[in-house]
Structure 1
Amino acid sequence: MDGSVRVDLRGRQALVTGGARGLGAALCRRLAGAGASVLVADVRKELARELCDELAGSGGDARFVELDVRDPHMVAEVFRDLDAEGRPVDVLVNNAAVDVSKPIEHLSADEVTRVVTTNLLGPMYLCLEGYRRMVARGGGHIVNILSTAANRTWTEAGAYAAGKSGLRAFTHTLFQEAQRDCPGIGVTGVIAGGMETPFILERFPDADVSLLQSPDVVADTVLYALSVPVGSAVSELVVVPRKEPSWP
């Protein structure tokens, strides 16, 4: 990727959940390359710190924030700490996600709770904290990473599809409220098809990578959403591999 999307994020701070690897790491690299100060929010401490060191070595500004998105108290504390530092979140990217690929009859309540809490409630917790602060400042941008499962599901994806479908509905509602209440705030859902990342390859090691897209393409799509002038709004973008089997 040549980083063809151009947006100047100097002086702005971005928080990326699940930022330590995969799409999250690609997002952090693109945001840092655009000049943003990046908060790499994750539970994977070593991977996140390695990424921060990499970005710093390339002239970027990045630091690790330990964050389990399933914990609303931890989410609130992160935002309170940023308030105290005088470093608000200008760009929030809800990227963290998990999946348990099992038939519904074999899913446990704990597995369903982990998937739905991470993929739906976690982003909602972050939006609750981030959005009200953006309204108070009169600007900002929230990007929620969705999935083709938010539009069309498949077997062994019951909990995942439920979480992503719910997040899509929440994102559209938040978009409408921002349109009404604060035109300076952008809210975008990005429906991303299969990517060549650990999220897929760890669960499906025999997956045909020729059918998957690079996470850099999705990261560039997010930067495009951030590049749109305030006078326009992008509520949703879809980016899938050419041979994506689960779209439309």
Structure 2
Amino acid sequence: AEELCRELKEEGCQARFTELDVRDPAAAAEVFRDLDETAQPLDILVNNAAVDVSKPIEHLSADEVTRVIGTNLLGPMYLCLEAYRRMVGRGHGHIVNILSTAANRTWTEAGPYAAGKSGLRAFTHTLFKEAQRDCLGVGVTGIIAGGMETPFVLDRFPDADTSTLQSPDIVADTVLYALSVPTGSVIPELVVVPRCESSWP
């Protein structure tokens, strides 16, 4: 994030970064209070933090489950709470939650991860419906992403066949597409997977 901010500033953009443990609701609230003081409100929130522990359920510890659910479900929810009320107050904004094919189906050794992502998908659907009621200027989108060629996958599965994975740039482009839809329309959910995705449909 720091390097990206530096590159943006070199191009004449305004940018800032902060470190945040998304599992801490007080820390999430503090970040938004800091933004309020800068008079530079957040127009777009993209929740993409995620962790996983690939173990059979019988070998999982409570701490491991708490870490995965805290990061993948509760963390994005805390950030949505802070961003959504501010966006409604201003009358515009967009929230994008990065989901996973695990939000729709699961596989062995993915219990907490699938639970977190499916929970976030349900929360995203609820937030979409409430935005329809509260403020039509606020968009909510869930991106169901398949396997990506990132450290998230490759650090855990170094022997993974990268030909079955997609570039994270493709997912980023999908987010930009969802954000580009003209006012009056919104994309509530998009699926983007590699052509060889094994966990879809």
Q: TM-score, normalised by structure 1?
A: 0.79
What residue in structure 1 maps to residue 126 of structure 2? 173
Number of residue-to-residue matches in the alignment: 201
Q: Any residues of structure 2 matched to 1:32-51 within 5 Å, and which?
A: 48-51=1-4
User: Matched residues in 2 for 1:140 and 1:224: separation?
Assistant: 15
Q: 1:62 aligns with which of 15, 21, 24?
A: 15
* Residues 202 and 60 of structure 1: CA distance in aligned 2, closer, same or farther (over 3 Å): farther
CA RMSD of the aligned region, Å?
Answer: 1.0
Q: 2:46 aligns with which of 86, 93, 106?
A: 93
Q: Identity of aligned pairs, percent?
A: 81
User: Matched residues in 1 for 2:14 and 2:163: separation?
Assistant: 34
Runs of 4+ in 1 over 4 A off after TM superposition: none
Equivalent residue of 1:232, what SS? coil
What residue in structure 2 maps to residue 208 of structure 1? 161
Q: 1:136 aligns with which of 61, 72, 89?
A: 89
Q: 1:120 aligns with which of 53, 58, 73?
A: 73
Amino acid at match of 2:95: I
Equivalent residue of 2:16, what SS? strand
Q: Give the structure with the larger strand fraction.
A: 1
Q: In 2, are the aligned partners of 1:183 and 1:230 still within 8 Å (CA)? A: no
Q: TM-score, normalised by structure 2?
A: 0.97
User: Matched residues in 1 for 2:166 and 2:15: separation?
Assistant: 26
Residue 188 (str. 1) matches residue 141 (str. 2): yes
Residue 102 (str. 1) matches residue 49 (str. 2): no
Instruction: Give the superposition deviation at 1:230.
Output: 1.7
Amino acid at match of 2:186: A
Amino acid at match of 1:69: V
Q: 1:231 aligns with which of 181, 184, 188?
A: 184
Stretches of structure 2 that go unaligned for 5 or more consecutive residues are: none
Amino acid at match of 1:136: G
